Amino acid sequence: MVRDDGAGGAGGTEWGLGSHPLLTASTSLTTALAAAHGAIDSGSDPSWLAPAEQGALLESLGRAQASLDALLMRVLPACSGPDSIADDTACRTAADWLAHRQHTRANRLHAASKLGQSLARWPRLAAALASGEITTDHARAAVEALDRLPRSGPDALDPETLDKAETVMLGHCREFTPIQIRTLGARLLEAVAPDVAERLEGERLADEERQARRETTFSMSRTGRGTRRFRGEIPELHASILEAALRAVTNPRRTHLDGGIPYDDSRSCDDATVQDGQRLTDSQRLGQAFCTLVENLRTDRLPVHGGSPVTVVVTITEETLRREATEHGYSGYGTTTGGAPVSVGEARRLGCVHGVRGAVLGGASEVLDLGRKVRLHQGPQRLALELEHPTCQARGCDVPAPWCETHHVTEWAEGGDTSVEDGALFCPHHHHRVHDPTYETRWHDDDTVTFHRRC
């Protein structure tokens, strides 16, 4: 490679424009993107492409975006050291320098730089991101799970186990959404090192629960506009219960928000009712749902343990429950329907004072098969389906299970049974697609469905 004696440096040298491979690549990339925008501006409408070609174009752009993100992650730390652009301009990091040049906040760039440094510990994930095989959000979710694994101290995992963990997370990145990966990542240690997972995870959760109770706060302040502003921090478990309640109330199939505050405040409430919350933002719908919960509190029963319209399921193995019941070590753990991990001690306390339903794996349960006697899925069956499938079973759809409708995999009219085994959950949109003859429905081994328009 050749360095040119540059006039831009003070007595030093700098790379000639285009002579460094990274400069060449970035210049070519900018030129190619300008040509693509110019093609659209000149009338090359992407909608003219056949559906298969549109899919190929979108997938290619997505891979290019991920690859570009990976490149930026690797370049930012390298441009932050001595004799760098950051050092030359007295910026703390290259992320701060670039944020200043782009007139934006540096948070996103700092996060990218940090992720790039973390990916250096997991080379196969880094390579997958660089090739565009996975997205940045997938990589971040996977790295968060991997970095939680013990790599030092008496419980440190050996290199072979860490390599296995990276393989597991890379496989998850190819099949699941980032939100699902975070849920799966919470159980990563159990998957790769079950001999130490339960003890370490139980101890960690017990410590977190104690810390969460100490850090729990709540305050209200008047805004002077007829409202009060809430501020606080609550444990993950209780946040999961609250979210489950709010999502149940904000189900778009319900009409409880009709007549609520329209999104367009310039119109009066009298002539602009809200249908299924479609003209409310998500935060507005949750706010109104919170008010609905408050209005329906059993104030005549407080603080006695009253009935609750929300059921929280804690899943735990029968073996763990029996062992902890006799040993009182409380080192195991379970999970709620909202994905919040719960220690055995917390699960036992909840079972004593709240309406918590336990899904004990390996133990007895309610009748979940009603055969042909009842056409619609009943409460326990619905609960079991939501426990198995937290979102719509259409692949790629993240509509939460409480908003979904139950479906007979084998149609009732064709002799199907009303059971969990023959049941499925679909959001209203995909439930219509299941019954739409213009679409072919394909079931996959992971209990998800894809749709393809028939020719």
Taking alpha carbons only, the member of 406, 428, 427, 426 closest to residue 417 is 406
Nearest to 4 by CA among 16, 22, 19: 16
In sequence order, what are the residues at sequence separation of 6 or more whose Cβ sits closer than 8 angstroms to the Cβ of residue 119? 70, 73, 125, 126, 129, 139, 143
Which residue type sits at 123?
P
β-bridge mates for residue 232, sequence order: 218
**What would the pLDDT profile of 83-140 be if each residue is shown by its tens digit?**
888 888 888 889 989 999 999 888 899 999 999 999 999 999 999 999 999 999 999 9
Residue type, 184: L
- Whether the pLDDT of residue 377 is over 70: the answer is no
- Asked if 350 and 343 touch (Cβ cutoff 8 Å), the reply is no
333-355: per-residue pLDDT in tens?
A: 566 655 566 666 666 555 544 44
d(CA 315, CA 383): 12
CA-closest candidate to residue 380, choices 344, 406, 362: 406
pTM of the full predicted structure?
Answer: 0.53
Q: Which residue has the tokens 């419980």?
A: 155
Rounded mean pLDDT, 422-433:
84
Angle at which helix 178-185 crosses helix 136-147, to 10 degrees, equals 10
Mean pLDDT of 49-62: 92
Q: Is 374 strand, coil or helix?
A: coil
Say which residues have a Cβ less than 8 Å from residue 118's Cβ, sequence separation at least 6.
143, 147
User: Strand 312-317 to strand 356-361: parallel, antiparallel, or no bridges (unpaired)?
Assistant: parallel
Confidence of residue 274 (pLDDT cuts 50, 70, 90): very low
Average pLDDT for residues 175-191, to the nearest whole number? Answer: 88
Confidence of residue 64 (pLDDT cuts 50, 70, 90): very high
CA pair distance 322, 309, nearest whole angstrom = 29
For the cut 50, the answer to whether the pLDDT of residue 276 exceeds it is no
CA 256 – CA 407 distance, rounded (Å): 24
Average pLDDT of the residues in 355-382: 49
Confidence of residue 301 (pLDDT cuts 50, 70, 90): low
Query: Which region holds residue 16: left if phi is over 0, alpha if psi is between -120 and 50, else beta?
Result: beta
